[in-house]
Homo-oligomer: A and B are copies of this chain.
C-alpha cells in the first residue's frame, strides 16, 4: 500500500503540467458545435505534444502509459481546467479494438489519423428494439460478393454528426444463437444510404443521433475480427470503454462538487446544518469514487487485465451525480430553476446518468453475476 506517485509518474506529471501551462486552450466557446471543434483542436495540440493517447503503444503514437499514468494525465487536465479532448470514441474504444482485432492494413489505415483528429469516430451499438441487450441487434448485413449490404437503425450514437467512421455491430446470420450471429464493421460514414437524425433530449439539446441504413454497402475488408465474431469484438470495445471511465467520472464529479461548494460557501448556505450534512455526505461519496478508481487501476495492473469492476464505478458515479444535482437545485437558491441556469442543466442532464452507457439495472446484474458470482436469472 503506497499511494505516493512513483518517480516516473512524478516526472511525467511535472512535464505535463509545464506543457499545459504553455499550451492551454483557454475558455470554451459557448456554441455546442464550436465547442466540439475546439475540443478536437485540443486533441491535435495534445498530439503534437505526444499526449493524445497516453495508453496507446508508442508504435502508434502513444506512450504505452499504465492506467495509473493515464489517471495522472486526467488529474492534471482537471487541475488546469483544460477540457477532455474530443474523439474519445476513437482513442479509447475504436483504437484499442482495432489494435486487438484489426488486420495490419486496418491498423495502418485508421490508427494514426485518429490522434491527428483527421478521423472522428462514433459507435453504432444500441438499437431501438435492443437497448441494453446487444444480443438482440437486428440491423442486418447481407453478404453480396465482396460487400455487405446493411439495413436497419441505430440509436444513441453520440457525435455521429461529426463522425467519419462508425463502429458498427450488425447481424449477419439469423440462423444461429443470438450472440453468435453478429459481425463488427468499420463503416465509412460517407457511404450512400446513411441518414443521420439528431435525437433531441429532455435538456433540449441533441448530443445523440439516430442512424438509418438503407442498403448501405460496406466492403468485406472492413470487417473487424472475422464474420460471426462480432460479439467478442464488441465486448473488447465495451471493456475499453469501462476502463477509461474511472478517472473521467471522478474528475467530472469533483469539478461539479467544487462549483457547488464555492456557491454554498459564498452564500453562507453551509451554516444550515441539514445542507452541511448533505453536502459533506456527497463529498465523501465523491472521494470514495476517486479513490475506488485509483484502487481498481492498481488491481487491474497487478492482475494484468481490466475486469467488470468498471460497472461499480459507473454505479457510484450515476448515483452520486444524481444526488448532487438534486441537492444543488434544492439548495443553491430560487434562480436555479431558471431556464438558462447551469444548475438546471446539470439537474436535467443527470437524469440520463442511470441510463446511458449501461443502465444501473444492467450494471447491477453485471455486479451480481460477474463480481459476486450469483446465479443468473435466466
Task: Kindly report how many copies of this chain are found in the complex they form together.
Answer: 2
Q: Separation in Å of the A331 CB from the closest CB of chain B?
A: 14
Complex interface bits, A272-287 against B, C-beta within 8 A gives 1, otherwise 0: 1110010000000000
Q: Separation in Å of the A192 CB from the closest CB of chain B?
A: 42
Complex interface bits, A230-244 against B, C-beta within 8 A gives 1, otherwise 0: 000000000000000
Q: Separation in Å of the A321 CB from the closest CB of chain B?
A: 24
B contact residues around A273 at 8 Å (CB) = 272-274
Alpha-carbon distance A305/B144, docked complex (angstroms) = 65
**Interface residues in A15-44 (C-beta closer than 8 Å to B):** none
B contact residues around A274 at 8 Å (CB) = 273-274, 277
**Interface residues in A268-307 (C-beta closer than 8 Å to B):** 272-274, 277
Alpha-carbon distance A143/B277, docked complex (angstroms) = 66
Closest residue of chain B to A272, judged by CB? Answer: B273
Closest residue of chain B to A273, judged by CB? Answer: B273
Q: Separation in Å of the A279 CB from the closest CB of chain B?
A: 13
Q: Separation in Å of the A62 CB from the closest CB of chain B?
A: 47
4 closest Cβ pairs, A-B complex = A273-B273, A274-B274, A273-B274, A274-B277
B contact residues around A277 at 8 Å (CB) = 274
Q: Separation in Å of the A212 CB from the closest CB of chain B?
A: 31
Closest residue of chain B to A276, judged by CB? Answer: B274
Alpha-carbon distance A272/B274, docked complex (angstroms) = 10
B contact residues around A272 at 8 Å (CB) = 273
Closest residue of chain B to A277, judged by CB? Answer: B274
Most buried by B among A272, A273, A277: A273
**Interface residues in A258-274 (C-beta closer than 8 Å to B):** 272-274
Q: Could you list 5 examples of A-B contacts with CB < 8 Å?
A: A272-B273, A273-B273, A273-B274, A274-B274, A274-B277
Alpha-carbon distance A273/B278, docked complex (angstroms) = 13
Q: Separation in Å of the A355 CB from the closest CB of chain B?
A: 20
Alpha-carbon distance A75/B54, docked complex (angstroms) = 71
Alpha-carbon distance A277/B277, docked complex (angstroms) = 13
Alpha-carbon distance A317/B273, docked complex (angstroms) = 29
Q: Separation in Å of the A77 CB from the closest CB of chain B?
A: 38
Q: Separation in Å of the A264 CB from the closest CB of chain B?
A: 16
Alpha-carbon distance A277/B273, docked complex (angstroms) = 11
